[in-house]
Chain A
Amino acid sequence: MENNASSTSTKSPAPKGEIWVWFTSLGLVLGLAMVLFLFGLILMRGFSFFWPVPVVQLELKEDSESVFRGNTSFAGVIASTQERSLQEIAVEEEILLEEEEEVEADGILGQALQTISEYRVFVGSRDRYGQSFRYFRHNDILERSFPEDIIRAERRVEGDAFFFPQRIQFQDGSEVTREDAIFEDELDRVVKEARSRRSQINRIDRREIGPINLEIRQLTMDLRYLNRIERSEGELTEAQQAERERLTGRIAKLNEQFELLRDQADELRETNQSIRVFYEYADGTNGQIAIGDLFRFYYPNRLGFLQRVQVAGIQFWEFVSGYPREANMSGGIFPAIFGTFVMTLIMSIAVTPFGVITAIYLREYAVQGPLVRAVRIAINNLAGVPSIVFGVFGLGFFVYIMGGTIDSLFFSQAQELGTPTFGTGGILWAGLTLALLNLPVVIVATEESISAVPRGVREGSLACGASKWQTIQRLVIPASLPGILTGMILAMARGAGEVAPLMLVGVVALAPNLPVDGTFPFVHLERKFMHLGFHIYDVGFQSPDSEAAIPTVFATTLILIALIVVLNLSAILLRNHIRKKHKGSAF
């Protein structure tokens, strides 16, 4: 006591070693700053993808460097401004060297022009300009304006375009020109109508023709199989012949239905192609587009703030709910979101019971000894194996061995014809591969939470006459549910973001169908699927115009992060709910 009193009374300066506290907090601050920067960047760049910005029309000096194919007038969105030294440019384009001398000789701009500023402008209309982005030098620009009437059009192909609509030509040849008062309303109307026709076509294609096609394919396969038998055996049994008759009849009937529907769709397509919008580019050249190819348009220079928000909302919705077009360059990423979600779900469903059962055996039943210790070490090490290794394993084990076996047992016809069903990458195999990848995480988390269940609870249960299994089932598992969920959350976070192994076991850049849809049996575990992570890779690095894809990459990243956050958040909420129910169980 006395010692304490004396030590507190003596004035002591800052305790020794306190400086390390600052050091450690510095680490935290650094880490935090990095995380915040990352999120800030992704949020900003991701959201700016959806935000409608004003379109600028640039008039260029005649004969200046920026002029492209004689066009001196461009409309577009300024994406960024950059300073480039002439030297730098000179390395790129040797011709410029001469001009530099000229500039210096002129002496007008002097030293100030050692660097020049350039605008990177999204001009759209890849069909016309070759690239979506063009660079314009500041000094080459004569005039800038923000024309009211210009529209930004989202087109079926070749990305967005900026133009001034001039007239609409209807099927019967009649026209509405921009001088007419109803022109803008009409434009709005025909685009909307075209959209509804398009969705009708989609419905016919997916909902009605899809199943018919599928059946035809199946029946044709059966038929081919019968034909093969005939070739090899020389003759068919009566039953087989009857079967062939039936198949042929059925196929003919289906084809008839198919034709009918196709005609319907073609008619709609025809209509969409026959109405055309004529327009004028910023430089005055004319162009035209079928109404079916014009998905959506808005007047970027007329929008107020609320309208911008509205447009951004619509674009966001189209992005997350739409299907990709033009090799993923435009359109939405819904299949990728959905694929990621379903795959994560399959992974969770597979990994949780497996991991939990393993953990229960290890903790409750296995005789603790060197063998179990070795198994534990192995499990922990498994968590450190590079994910691509799991991908290779998934390919070898799930796809070739398991898938191959399933095919030869249940889908032997298809396999013989060279179209494997399960014997190729698919969402099930991808899910299982990731499940395997995350198994250690779940096992370790579960084991820990099982061992945290108080001894008193187990003894209380046994003293009530419960067997060991009843105790585990009724008390231990419920009490360790929060821990199990923690493992699941970690697994999901890792699984949803993993790309490398998936590339080997079923992810594709563009999947024709969703893994879950309206055709029987609704869940198609054998299908290939799209994945947000892979989508980012594909769009960012594999697309023909990767510069134009950068905003898409950020937007997709944003969605991927959001999806992981949503999955984790719901799991965390569920865990907290359960934890509240079990509060005090440590008593």
Chain B
Amino acid sequence: MNDSTETLQQTPEITRKEMDNPDKTDFRQDYISFRNYNFYYGATQVLFEVNLDIPERQVTALIGPSGCGKSTLLRNINRMNDLVDGIRHEGELLIDGTSAYDPTVEVISLRKRIGMVFQKSNPFAKSIYENVVYGLRVAGRKKKSTLDEAVETSLRRAALWDEVKDRLGESAFGLSGGQMQRLCIARAIANNPEIILMDEPCSALDPVATGKIEDLIHDLKKEYTIVIVTHNMQQAARVSDRTAFFYLGKLIEYDETEKMFMNPAQKQTEDYVRGRFG
């Protein structure tokens, strides 16, 4: 923050990214990159000329009022929108330098690299164990030791291991809402992805569970690039390093989270973060 603080032999939190990842300090600033990106559902255009560079191993929050296109943008990253009929896009979407829509990119392998956590926790009607290894199983992994290891690692990373280690064989529906959501995070992690997308992951949770998930997100950014859509401004402020504000399908402002919330450059952003929108 300031040179004089060196005398205190401590570095402020915000510049600690390098300390968190001592082995790799040159992170891509455009790990996920939208270039002049337009997106249409049928005749309706939902994204307009979006230019957005999402940095590696940081948490980027997408905020904006409902229908502003932030979820659509998120779902474009792992091409979840492919399921919808009549979609169309223009411009480029690069992930680690490669176009996500490149004909040589298989959508399944793309999704394996990109974990996703949904608004409603959606565990499968299987045991906790089977939920975590689902991605590995569909990828054809069968070796018991590999799966066991993945379960433990993923659940530990999702801060769920201690709570469920004695009942891995039980149904995932026996968990609480917050635990289910963390299970879904563990499931996303188990595939060992590079990116984790979160679509309002805490909107259905109570404050305690929300707090746990936020702490988890803070923890996970050491290893993953995280993009989170949230309606909760305080959450965006708490967990993200950078924040992008969308309005009516346009990217209005994109900056360091602190800047966005203390001194936004755009009037619209200010109105929105102050809660005096419209």
Contact = CB atoms under 8 A, between A and B. Distances in A.
- Asked if A and B touch directly (CB within 8 angstroms), the answer is yes
Interface of A: 454, 456-457, 459-467, 470, 474-475, 478-479, 581-585, 587
B191 A465 contact: yes
Interface string B112-148: 1011101011111100000000110111000000000
Contacts of A582: 125
Contacts of A462: 80, 83, 111
Contacts of B125: 475, 478-479, 581-582, 584-585
Contact of A460 (B83, B122, B137, B191): B122
Interface string B98-121: 000000000011011011101011
A203 B134 CA distance: 56
A457 B173 contact: no
Contacts of B58: none
Nearest to B121: A587
A454 B122 contact: yes
A451 to B, nearest CB: 15
A470 B137 CA distance: 10
A471 B125 CA distance: 12
Interface in B69-119: 78, 80, 83, 108-109, 111-112, 114-116, 118
Given A460-B184, A584-B173, A585-B173, A465 B118 contact: no
Nearest to A479: B125
Contact of A475 (B112, B116, B124, B184): B124
Contact of A467 (B115, B138, B180): B138
B124 A463 contact: no
Contacts, number: 80
Given A464-B188, A581-B171, A459 B124 contact: no
Chain A at the B interface: SS class? helix
Contacts of A474: 124, 134, 137-138
Q: Which of B78, B138, B171, B173 has the most CB of A within 10 A?
A: B138
Interface in B6-27: none
B115 A463 contact: yes
The 4 closest A-B CB pairs, nearest first, are A465-B112, A584-B173, A456-B122, A463-B116
B57 interface: no
B135 A464 contact: yes
24 contacts: A456-B122, A457-B122, A457-B124, A459-B118, A460-B187, A461-B124, A461-B138, A462-B83, A463-B78, A463-B80, A463-B116, A463-B118, A464-B115, A464-B135, A464-B188, A464-B191, A465-B135, A466-B108, A474-B124, A479-B125, A581-B171, A585-B173, A587-B122, A587-B173
Given A583-B173, A584-B173, A585-B173, A465 B108 contact: yes
Contacts of B124: 457, 460-461, 474-475
Interface string B11-49: 000000000000000000000000000000000000000
Q: Which of A462, A463, A470, A479 has the most CB of B within 10 A?
A: A463
A582 to B, nearest CB: 4
A475 B191 CA distance: 18
B216 to A, nearest CB: 18
Q: Which of B109, B115, B124, B135 has the most CB of A within 10 A?
A: B124
Contacts of B137: 474
Contacts of B180: 587
Nearest to A474: B138
Contacts of B191: 464-465
B95 to A, nearest CB: 15
Given A459-B83, A462-B80, A463-B78, 17 more contacts: A456-B122, A459-B122, A460-B187, A461-B124, A463-B114, A463-B118, A463-B188, A464-B111, A465-B139, A466-B108, A466-B134, A467-B108, A467-B138, A474-B138, A479-B125, A582-B125, A587-B120
A460 B138 CA distance: 13
B92 to A, nearest CB: 22
Given A464-B188, A465-B191, A459 B138 contact: no
B122 A464 contact: no
Nearest to A460: B122
Contacts of A454: 122
